[in-house]
Structure 1
Amino acid sequence: MIRPAPRASQVRVRDRARDINELIQVIAECGADHPARPLFLAQLQAARTERTALLDSLGQPQTTLTPTNIPFPIWRFA
């Protein structure tokens, strides 16, 4: 069975999810004292806000887990 092509808004949701994952990885790798960390956190919040708005417009439920800050990579202290 052939799936229909995704709508433009669905593609934007997927792209924002990819951006969010990349930003989380960058923030985890840069460390708490990196000079660009506030910029990365602002970009992360903007991407999450845009993704939430897109999901709302599609009528899809949001995920309940939305961490707002990643202070440090937890695995470094394990």
Structure 2
Amino acid sequence: MREKQYCIGTANIPNLKVVNPNGIEIKGQVTNIEGMDSDVFEIIICSISYPFFEEEFPHHVKTYNDQFKDIQ
């Protein structure tokens, strides 16, 4: 018998509070959760303000900027 798998995909959860390891809240316009219990769940935060986004997620900013290095 196959094990049941559950999927979640929420709309905005306005009271969901997400904090970084230092206890600083990561705020955005919309926060929702997506995922499947046999895999992972992702918290998606849209419209995180600058410069906080760059300070908190420098690896994402670097990846984004690197894709334009060869474009003149």
Q: Please classify the TM superposition score into its range, dividing by the shorter chain length.
A: under 0.3
Q: Determine which structure has greater relative contact order: mean sequence separation of CA pairs < 8 Å that are 6+ residues apart, divided by chain length.
A: 1
Who wins on radius of gyration, i.e. which is larger? 2
Structure with more strand by fraction: 2
- After TM superposition, the score normalised by the length of structure 1 is 0.22
TM-score, normalised to structure 2, is: 0.23
